[in-house]
Homo-oligomer: A and B are copies of this chain.
């Protein structure tokens, strides 16, 4: 495996400013960065995966993240199978809080066992760190303004799309 290639997995339902911040930082640390939309069968999604891919691509372009980012999705198996396919040696996770760390630690240990892949935790900018996709979904569902928490393309989409224009 190549430790210059990394994967940032997530649901990105929708992408937040915290996600884009972590992606930007990870893109500066690795030669090739895969932003991977992972299907979580246990959670009901707000957005279809194709929409999340499109919003991620638009957001990454609009926010001027480095050009070494590949956006993809994965719903057929283990996250480490994707990482192995693209020869990535590193998983990157942004951590918003201590509770995040408690949640991510066991998965990192499992992925290490499954594929000798290392997980590195990165800190988002504290100004963008706290607000999760789940909270954005709740606020958007009630008609609140989520533009302080998400990139422009997501804000514009939720404003028109979610309201059925």
Using CB atoms and an 8 Å cutoff, list the residues of chain A in contact with chain B: 3, 25, 28-30, 41-42, 77-78, 80, 89-90, 95-99, 101-103, 105-110, 112-114, 118-123, 125-127, 129-132, 135, 138-139, 141-145, 148-149
Contacts and interface: CB of A to CB of B under 8 A. Distances in A.
Contact of A118 (B25, B102, B103, B112): B25
A78 B28 CA distance: 23
Given A78-B144, A98-B101, A109-B126, 4 more contacts: A78-B142, A98-B98, A106-B135, A109-B131
Contacts of A42: 138
Given A98-B102, A99-B99, A135 B148 contact: no
B127 A126 contact: yes
Nearest to A40: B138
B114 A139 contact: yes
A130 to B, nearest CB: 4
A55 B83 CA distance: 33
